[in-house]
A = this chain, B = another copy of it.
């Protein structure tokens, strides 16, 4: 920690800060600058009491941490990167993984038709929401257990692994029975009780970035999962909230490149939520390959204009098949084919 004193801090104020730093378990190291004094407080910031509270002392102007707050997820812990094997498919390896399927599971024919089509086009996992987090209580909340059973049928028919969201601690065990990858959505990215409950199933977890989450906070949410004994985390960038209104979210591909450098975890992209517009999905898929993402989770629906949720951002089966072809040259360029 670096404690910056005010320009006019008195000797007594400086000494009080020095005493307090020592009391809180750090070794103070004052440095006299040209305009003001700075005190380096030596000690492990993750082990000790944070010194950020010292800002409340009268002579203190700023307190600045110098360490990363995460440890288990940091690239240094595993410089070669995690290769996460799920049903024989590797996330974080050479191959680019495609998860595709509807926003919500709506009925048997919808999910079966979609599963077959995305499988044929090259997807390895099927997504589909059975429990849906909806902004309004009056919107379709998902088929719940019934939806999970339909996903199971689709898996049986196609061999695709299942990715589905869990919204409630009390559903974690049920959803984990059906899911090959448990999805934690953006709205729950700092629902720590759910993160811990999901971690404890041991299942791989797809952790979406919260809609206004700093990258550090996202990695710390992953750290909650790892520090609760589950190393199987896939990070997923899905767009952040900004002032722009022509797109539902602003896809932050810089964050993908940064998360890849900062952590050893696989990182994938959700281009559907990421822009909220079907017409931008193809471009965002190609760009994801270019920034070294490890895969994509794409919303696909047989008839978006009658979708029960998020129709504006789902591509049709035909569009999906086309975009899978259009991506090939970019995957090849990224050495992911």
Q: Which residues of A contact B (CB under 8 A)?
A: 2, 4, 7-8, 20, 23-24, 29, 31-36, 38, 40, 42-44, 46, 49-50, 52-57, 62, 64, 66-67, 69-70, 76, 133-139, 167-171, 187-188, 190-194, 211-212, 214-217, 220, 223-224, 227-228, 240-247, 250-255, 257-258, 261, 274-275, 277-280, 283-284, 286-292, 304-308, 311-312, 314, 329-330, 332-334
A-B pairs, top 4 by smallest CB distance, nearest first, are: A53-B311, A212-B212, A168-B193, A329-B333
Q: A31: which of B7, B24, B42, B254 is its contact (CB, 8 Å)?
A: B42
CB contacts (< 8 Å) of A305 on chain B: these are 20, 53-54, 56-57
Of B20, B254, B312, the residue contacting A56 (CB under 8 A) is B312
How many copies the complex holds: the figure is 4
Q: List 11 A-B contacts (CB under 8 A).
A: A53-B304, A53-B305, A53-B306, A54-B305, A56-B314, A136-B220, A137-B223, A167-B193, A169-B170, A287-B291, A332-B333
Q: A67 — which chain B residues lie within 8 A by C-beta?
A: 7, 35-36
Chain B residues closer than 8 Å to A217, beta-carbon distance: 135
Contacts A254-B284, A257-B283, A333-B333 known; list 16 others, CB within 8 Å: A2-B66, A8-B76, A33-B42, A53-B307, A53-B311, A54-B305, A135-B220, A137-B223, A169-B169, A187-B192, A188-B190, A241-B243, A244-B252, A247-B258, A250-B252, A253-B284
Contacts of A284 in B (CB 8 A): 253-254, 257, 291
Are A137 and B224 in contact, CB atoms less than 8 angstroms apart? yes
Partner of A283, one of B34, B215, B242, B290: B290
A26 to B187, CA, bound (A): 31
Q: Which residue of B lies closest to A194 (CB)?
A: B191
**In chain B, what residue has the closest Cβ to A252?**
B250
Say which residue of B24, B66, B69, B247 sits within 8 Å of A4 (CB atoms): B66
Flag if B76 contacts A7 (CB, 8 Å): yes
Q: Which residues of B contact A279 (CB under 8 A)?
A: 261
Q: Which residues of B contact A170 (CB under 8 A)?
A: 169-170, 193
- Chain B, residue nearest A72 (CB): B137
When the two chains form the complex, which single residue of B191, B223, B307 contacts A136, counting CB atoms closer than 8 Å? B223
Question: Which residues does chain B contribute within 8 Å of A247, judged by CB atoms?
Answer: 254-255, 258
| Contact of A243 with B246 in the complex, beta carbons under 8 Å | no
A66, B62: Cβ atoms closer than 8 Å: yes
